[in-house]
Structure 1
Amino acid sequence: MDRIREALGSGLPVIEVHAELAAGTDDVRAAALVVCDALGIPRGEAERRLRGCQDLWGEFGPGDERLVGELLDGIGLFDVHVTLDERGERIRGLMRRAMGASGGISSGIGVGILRKLDTGRLPEAFAVLVRVRVRERGDPVRYWAVLGTAGELLAAWLPSGDEEAAGRVREARERCAREAALTAR
């Protein structure tokens, strides 16, 4: 376990860590659970995330460990969900409300946004949300207003010195303001 935590702590991608561990066993599922444990994901939660994957295990053989890791990462198995401070949680909640006001987001994009929100990558989630098209059944005025509030709070919440995130949020806020102005007409 220490070796796995060390590998993860060194910056080695989780997919690579899983592939290396799985290559030494014929039980890729067990390897996935060990990686989840090393990430701090509770066993029950990891088991829940793996539900529905039973049919996968027999379909892969030696040499497929990286592919298995990519698939498991793709379903969010290795996502470490974070609890944010009060302001961060408020921002995350606003972004979820905006998703509801959109009238529906395509599943792939929606899952990606939710994964970003769950793992605390709020600037990334915000940047994606401002590119979402509000559907006909959505409420564009509410969508852009809620998203605008989230962006304002997000800009103030970001740690100083994170210029990349600040730039991403600034550009996204500008787009959000333009869209809100167009919607108000």
Structure 2
Amino acid sequence: MTQAGDEQHQALVRRAQEILSAGASADAAFVELAADGGYDLRAIAIAVSMAAGTSLVDAEKRWAEDGEAALEEVEGDPEELGWLLAIAGFFDFHRPLDEREQQVRTLLNQALRAHGGWRSGHFGTITRHLEAGQLHDALESMAGSSPRTFAPRSRPAPSTYWTRLVEAAELLAADGDDGRLAEIAALCRRHLDELPPADPGAGG
């Protein structure tokens, strides 16, 4: 990248940061910058991703993996492209997790597999939260969905599901709790207590 190109890129990232700081969503920031003109959609997408905290290397990698195909799918329409990139997690910042948070994510992934089957949209939302390190959001979303009691292509394990969610809530509460984590843990324990003895996941 030339010096002039680098300066333009930095200016675009700063502008994206200003829009995000004002409370706009990432896809709304993308559309606003696209409407300003002067930049191609690839550059705008990468700038918004970086403004949200992602490194240039990772943003460019995401574009290579998902952006080009999405751009072709929407035939260059900025609003459609911004929406597609957002739901694919393109703009998400994947924050690093400490050791305890990694344990929480492991527990939530175990619960995810024990559920027995998710609607594709719900599954996509949860996995995005987990990838981005948004553990509270993932936990809350999962606590609102009861596992299947039977699924032809999987082995639901309800007691494992609720047990792992309780353990995840307790680990997250080590940072301090405004009461919501305690509510989630209590809800999951109640579901666990209500399970019939024949639960295939008994013993967690």
TM-score (norm 1): 0.80
- Any unmatched runs of 5+ in structure 2? 1-12, 198-204
- Any unmatched runs of 5+ in structure 1? none
User: Shift of residue 34 of structure 1?
Assistant: 2.1
Q: Does 1:34 align with 2:58?
A: no
Corresponding residue for residue 31 of structure 2: 19
The count of aligned residue pairs is 177
Corresponding residue for residue 157 of structure 1: 175
Q: Does 1:141 align with 2:154?
A: no
Structure number with the bigger relative contact order (C-alpha 8 A, sep ≥ 6) is 1
Indicate how the Cα distance of structure 1 residues 22 and 74 shifts in structure 2: closer, same or farther if over 3 A, else same: same
Mapping of residues 72-87 of structure 1, within 5 Å: 72-87=85-100
> How far apart, CA to CA, are the structure 1 residues paired with 2:67 and 2:90?
11
Deviations 1:87-129 (A, max 9, x none): 1221111111111122232221111111112223222211111
The RMSD of aligned alpha carbons is: 2.4
Worse-matched range after superposition: 102-111 or 5-14? 5-14
**SS state at 1:183 partner:** coil
User: Shift of residue 53 of structure 1?
Assistant: 4.7
**SS state at 1:2 partner:** helix
Identity of aligned residues (%): 34
Query: Aligned to 1:57, which of 71, 88, 93?
Result: 71
CA contact (8 A) 2:42 2:67 kept: no
Corresponding residue for residue 194 of structure 2: 182
Indicate how the Cα distance of structure 1 residues 117 and 182 shifts in structure 2: closer, same or farther if over 3 A, else same: same
Q: Which has the larger radius of gyration?
A: 2
